[in-house]
Structure 1
Amino acid sequence: MAINPNVINEARSKDSLHNTFSEVKELQFSLFGIPILLKDNINASGMPTTAGAIALQDNNIEDAFIVTKLKARGALVLGKANLSEWAYFFCGDCPSGYSAIGGQTLNPYGRKIFDTGGSCSGSAVAVSANFCVAAVGSETSGSILSPSSQNSVVGLKPKIGLVSRSGIIPISSTLDTAGPIAKNVTDASILLGAIYGYDVQDSKSFKSNNSTWVTNNYSEIGGLPLKGKAFGVFRTLLEDSLYVQAVTVLKKLGAKIIEIDPEDYQLPEFLRLLNLDMKKDLPEYFSKYGDPTLGFKSIEDVVAFNLKDSIKTMPYGQRLFEGVIADSGTEEDLIKIKRQLKDNGTLYFDLVGKRHNLDSFLSINNYHAGFAAVAEIPAITVPMGYAETGEPKGLTFICSSEKWLIDYAYLYEQASQKRNAPKKYN
């Protein structure tokens, strides 16, 4: 979508600075000189933040909170990656990976054959095709997990509140989070260590008392052995041969595998949660973090702008935005919906988890992303192989701790070695 116009000079400056370090170990596990792409809903100076929308093509603004943290750790912000427009909460009937500005992102394992997943489509594709070392994406429900799985890379959705959302174009202040996408678990963990932290401007941000491991203990990744750890395996997924193979790998590492049938909880009015959150959250972004010269104050303003040239700005329509406007729910409705969803998501995992004393759940791709989202717990997906057609799939771990997830995912990754780079992208 965009290249940082200063990135070559910044890289040369870091090359010069690197020569002043007396010991290379001082740079271990930092992001010094590492090129990182940002999903184009994350504010970064020197480049517009568009969410893929023509309405925001001149949205020039200062760095988001997490971008300042990346730069403080020595990262090179290489540029912006394409995304499903407005983080896939806009058209409703368009292909994932499409935006009016960026066009259609393609999957390097099967161009115009396999779906890219969304909404971090460009972030995952860019990492997979070696256009960057790693990327920062964002997720409301599956937006990191889905494209990471579809493009055979690692995607980590943190616990909501661990990573700041300030300066990121929102869908839902209840569910949104930023997170890392990388080719392996170690890189994803290092990137998480660079971007996590308390932000007073973020209503859900919290001061973590147990995240010193994120910055200090990369050498201890995988230090939590799997012997005796109990993993909940969804019985309905055992028809997938790749999933069965992945479960077998974990068994050989000493894990206890427990087949489960989850409780029958649903996610009622999930769409309305997104509607009612975005109706208030997008105007807040415009007023606090957007370019004031744009003149947008509400979602109605964006819809009206798009109607001026619908072929150019919204060839697939803007059904979801229209749904936001049409939703007349009150603040009391929003509170009730949030409470119900949080309870249902928590019970979905907790009842079965406590019954079997589970340490983690095992899923595929983004199959259970919605429940993890409303329960506000982290998840990580790791390549688990390729279908007979060549389409990538990911094994997804879900539990209450990023530390545990990273350990479990790392040990599985090292034992299985399932990722193959896409051909002609090395």
Structure 2
Amino acid sequence: MNATSFLTFFLLILCSCISCKKAPSETKQVMLWQSYDETQEIEAQQAHESNRMKFKLIQSRYRDKNDVFQPLYEAVAAFSEERYAQLAPMVLEQDIPSLQQHISRGDLTYEELTLFYLKRIYTYELDPATSLHTIMALNPLVLEQARARDKNKHDKKHPIYGMPILLKDNITTATMNATAGAAVLEHTSNEKDAFLVSQLEANGALILGKVNLSEWAYYFCSGCPLGYSALGGQTLNPYGRKIFETGGSSAGSGTSVAANYAVAAVGTETAGSIISPSSQNSLVGLKPTVGVISRSGIVPISHTLDTPGPMAKNVTDAAILLDAMRGKDAKDPSSIASSSSYILQKKNNDLSGKRLGVINGLLSDTIYAASIKQLESRGAILVPFDPPQVPLDGFLSLLNLEMKQDLPVYLREYTSIADTLPSLEAIMTYNAKDSTLRMPYGQGIFDAIMNDTIDTKGLDLLRSRLLTNGNRYFQEPMQQYQLDAILSINNYHSAYAAVGLHPCLAVPMGYKTSGEPIALTLISSPYTEASLLELGYAVEQILNARKIPRAYKD
């Protein structure tokens, strides 16, 4: 029985046992997900060569998945396997323009597109053998909203219209709590949307749900697994469940899009948290210049470095998603107003005359070396160089001190817990009261934050020095060799790009002999996202590397 058959059979049996006229309180008792004994699974994991992959748990010990999946299960059960099979070739791995063309021709509707993705989510996430533990919440109104998009599709003005999008669960929405994966934020009430969510909805996007992440955006526990959170459990990589890391902290954004659970997802990054999971999941991920997309309504680490960004299966979709989120936000001092669109205009694979910086220290990677040769064969001018030696001393102190400052502000404006838990120190005390459930890997980074003491003047000097050094690291070779971009691997140079405020674009480059994905990362000057995306599109067409995960191809 294939995965889709499994879900259909399971839900039909379930529906036959429960009358649709049952009271809501009775329906809530139905179990779609049954927790299982994972003792042997965890014991086997201790043999993994990476300490971060030696999991203590996989299923969340805190949250019941049934709370997430029950509200929409009847609608998903009613979506037939036959219709799913008809739509699969039109949806799987297709870009947004192709999807919109199919809908314009009447081949499917926005409601059916949404149901298609929900069918995949229910099929794979409710089977212990395939669950990626990546879905944190589903929008209970999404099908109603999809029907409204169908009814009003003559109003479509942006290509994101009607496209189901997933959000990292540190992005605030009025309909679903932003938890950052933390137990303390599970039941906070909120009636606000993050600015980027308002922009997406204004452009007609459908917010399908929320996805797992490394708890507190991987600024919580020291040396713990990427993609772990108390509420979501352990996110797993579709290219190798329990074998390859998911990347972090936007682990769920990466794994869910890689498995075709949505058109695209929004991640967030302080230093590497979009680029890392995009690389690990064979996706296109863009870390934009700070301010290109508003940060208001996002659980913060650092107001200097934090930024959201698009994660998609191709550059075309990443550009469309970026464009749909842009806009000046008065609440975010770094926010900019962009007068031009980020949607791709040229769309060619000609690199003639493009000067691309090649970091000498990376040439020992055979996939990198082969990939840049492919680019050279299509007209790119490769310029090998050695980056300047500049320190990033104090980088963690910048994050420590700004999180200590910024988190209480977020708690006051976007949560209902600020009166009782107003600070990082109070949250640490809350966690310690039930450490097994709330912090099984400890809270070592929180400890370090509390022990870091630099005064305001020292922090200002630190911030300025890091910006100078980050700029020098990239701008010195860019100006000396007149480079259009610098080519890196995965998130190898994300810290320098973060402090220097340089945008990064990860593009699938191939797979290691083990099957683990690897990305070519293009880094360009601040506020050059439009030209970076055009360049990335050409690179993507030449390398043509992305493949759907084998276990999630049906």
Q: TM-score range by the shorter chain?
A: over 0.9
1:99-141 residue CA offsets vs partner (Å, 9 max, x unmatched): 0000000000000000000000000000000011100010000
The ranges of structure 1 where at least 4 consecutive aligned residues each deviate by more than 6 angstroms after the TM superposition are none
1:26-48 residue CA offsets vs partner (Å, 9 max, x unmatched): 74752111110000000011111
Amino acid at match of 2:535: Y
Partner residue of 2:169 out of 40, 45, 62: 40
Amino acid at match of 2:420: G
Asked if 1:30 is matched to 2:145, the reply is: no
| Corresponding position of 2:144 | 9
Amino acid at match of 1:98: Y
Q: Which has the larger radius of gyration?
A: 2
SS of alignment partner, residue 341 of structure 2 = helix
Amino acid at match of 1:59: T
Residues 315, 536 of structure 2: 8 Å contact kept: yes
SS of alignment partner, residue 410 of structure 1 = helix
In structure 1, C-alpha distance between the alignment counterparts of 2:376 and 2:462, rounded to whole Å: 39
| Corresponding position of 1:394 | 519
SS of alignment partner, residue 218 of structure 1 = coil
SS of alignment partner, residue 520 of structure 2 = strand
| Corresponding position of 2:47 | none
SS of alignment partner, residue 323 of structure 1 = helix
1:265-317 residue CA offsets vs partner (Å, 9 max, x unmatched): 12111000001110100011111222357732110111011011000100000
Asked if 1:352 is matched to 2:477, the reply is: yes
Residues 56, 294 of structure 1: 8 Å contact kept: no
SS of alignment partner, residue 403 of structure 2 = helix
Q: Which has the higher contact order (CA 8 A, sep 6+)?
A: 1
Amino acid at match of 2:380: A
Residues 91, 317 of structure 1: 8 Å contact kept: yes
Partner residue of 1:212 out of 313, 336, 340: 340
**Unmatched segments (≥5 aa) in structure 1:** none
In structure 2, C-alpha distance between the alignment counterparts of 1:247 and 1:27, rounded to whole Å: 40
Partner residue of 1:318 out of 443, 450, 475: 443
Residues 344, 533 of structure 2: 8 Å contact kept: no
Asked if 1:424 is matched to 2:551, the reply is: yes
Give the direction of change, closer, same or farther, for the CA distance of 1:73–1:28 in structure 2 (3 Å limit): closer
C-alpha displacement of 1:409: 0.8
Residues 29, 218 of structure 1: 8 Å contact kept: no
SS of alignment partner, residue 424 of structure 1 = helix
Amino acid at match of 2:139: N
| Corresponding position of 1:258 | 383
RMSD (Å) for aligned C-alpha atoms: 1.4
| Corresponding position of 2:424 | 299
C-alpha displacement of 1:50: 0.4
Partner residue of 2:409 out of 249, 268, 284: 284
Asked if 1:131 is matched to 2:261, the reply is: yes
In structure 1, C-alpha distance between the alignment counterparts of 2:488 and 2:166, rounded to whole Å: 27
Residues 484, 524 of structure 2: 8 Å contact kept: yes
1:231-287 residue CA offsets vs partner (Å, 9 max, x unmatched): 110111111111112101211221100111011112111000001110100011111
Amino acid at match of 1:423: R
- The equivalences for 1:126-275 within 5 A come to 126-208=256-338, 211-214=339-342, 217-222=343-348, 225-275=350-400
SS of alignment partner, residue 152 of structure 2 = helix
Amino acid at match of 1:150: Q
In structure 2, C-alpha distance between the alignment counterparts of 1:342 and 1:283, rounded to whole Å: 25
Aligned length: 415
In structure 2, C-alpha distance between the alignment counterparts of 1:321 and 1:47, rounded to whole Å: 26
1:23-70 residue CA offsets vs partner (Å, 9 max, x unmatched): xxx747521111100000000111111000001001232210000000
C-alpha displacement of 1:222: 4.2
Asked if 1:49 is matched to 2:158, the reply is: no
